Structure 1
């Protein structure tokens, strides 16, 4: 029923193309005939919870949007921490379903209502906690490196670099302090002591005016 419902919604959206479907994640991935931009993952795939698969897929560079009837704040936030690009409740309307998938395909975070509620309910401190890899990616990016250069420096894919940066943005959104641009994210990171100004270098500090968050890279 979930698969047929998703198929129906996707068929009416010209910006999205459904490549394959399946009730079992391993079988689905093994049978892929062409590359996919986004995996829409039912949290109860194959009759069991597959929370562990989200982190595994994320580490493999996959963009994952989780679709679940369990919309508790703890579940939603734990899946974001595991690397999901977005979290959707099965009761949410087609508009959010489609927009979450389109945003994920462009490596952009999307906050549908159920996730917004989870963020509001989250009791985390105002200062986000970044993983060592997230901080390293941000620091190199702030040092006027392109994401491709950061990827080469860290020995990872450019997509993974984008994931680290997007996760940092999501964490700031969770604290009620969004940072949509590179300049805004740099300002937040310096404010919170996650990055020190002397680590950035004179070129980045002078080329990215952090007081004006409307400037800078938005990717």
Structure 2
């Protein structure tokens, strides 16, 4: 259910308006408490339990919501990159705010259109500075994002397509490729092709995954898969 937060008493009309999308009440309460005392002022004017409810109220970016804080996990255990992309493509300035903070997750979030990425373990001043920067359309790089950008020179990013990710997840969760084909309404030969391409991409960036166990390990490292998915 959407929860709307009234403008705080004493806040000026110049306060930056922020919406938070996260399915944990403790995050809503904590972020609201942090923003209540920051200067220049930031107003958490609305919070949402999932991106669907946010987009229903704000299908297009506008002046009512100037910055969006976006968690990456909701009903499923893997990061919601496709939904993140939808929110960004709607014209919103999005800061990904997540506990999933592997290099691949961070870089994929930026590829999807996020203005910046913050790990939930980073202190509140980083959150304030990221909001101010997003509002001003200027870049902000926190410590964890800086590490991911630095490692991007050496840590191989396989650049898997959305379909390749779907096939990998389905294959990890089922007994064989025929079940994957039925589940995704594709031919078994197509399943094999996608798996071969995924392995080839990992090998090409220096992270070979010749076995199913190795592919699972790579997928977990890159935020494509969580142990809870298995």
**How far, CA to CA, are the matches of 1:7 and 1:45 in structure 2?**
20
- More displaced 10-residue stretch of structure 1: 65-74 or 1-10: 1-10
| Equivalent position to 1:99, from 112, 119, 129 | 129
Residues 73 and 121, structure 1, Cα contact 8 Å, conserved in 2: yes
**How far, CA to CA, are the matches of 1:43 and 1:111 in structure 2?**
18
Q: Deviations over 1:99-125 (max 9, x none)?
A: 001100111110000101111111279
Q: Deviations over 1:132-184 (max 9, x none)?
A: xxxxxxxxxxxxxxxxxxxxxxxxxxxxxxxxxxxxxxxxxxxxxxxxxxxxx
Q: Does 1:41 align with 2:70?
A: yes
Partner of 2:191: none
Partner of 1:9: 34
| Equivalent position to 2:120, from 90, 100, 103 | 90
Residues 20 and 28, structure 1, Cα contact 8 Å, conserved in 2: no
Q: Superposition pairs for residues 125-144 of structure 1, below 5 Å?
A: none
Measured after TM superposition, the shift of residue 55 of structure 1 is: 1.4
Partner of 1:25: 51
**How far, CA to CA, are the matches of 2:37 and 2:106 in structure 1?**
27
Partner of 1:77: 107
Partner of 1:175: none
Length-normalised TM-score, structure 2: 0.50
Q: Once superposed, what is the RMSD of the aligned Cα atoms?
A: 2.2
Q: Which runs of 5+ in 1 are unaligned?
A: 126-219
Q: Deviations over 1:7-32 (max 9, x none)?
A: 11111124211110121222234346
Higher-RCO chain (CA-CA 8 Å, sequence separation at least 6): 2
Residues 38 and 105, structure 1, Cα contact 8 Å, conserved in 2: yes
Question: Which structure has the larger Rg over C-alpha atoms?
Answer: 2
Aligned residues, how many?
A: 125
For the residue of structure 1 that corresponds to 2:44, the secondary structure is coil
Q: Deviations over 1:173-201 (max 9, x none)?
A: xxxxxxxxxxxxxxxxxxxxxxxxxxxxx
**How far, CA to CA, are the matches of 2:56 and 2:87 in structure 1?**
13
Task: Tell me which protein shows more helix as a share of its residues.
Answer: 1
Q: Which runs of 5+ in 2 are unaligned?
A: 1-25, 156-230
Q: Does 1:55 align with 2:99?
A: no
For the residue of structure 1 that corresponds to 2:42, the secondary structure is coil
Q: Superposition pairs for residues 178-197 of structure 1, below 5 Å?
A: none
Task: Tell me which protein shows more strand as a share of its residues.
Answer: 2
Length-normalised TM-score, structure 1: 0.52
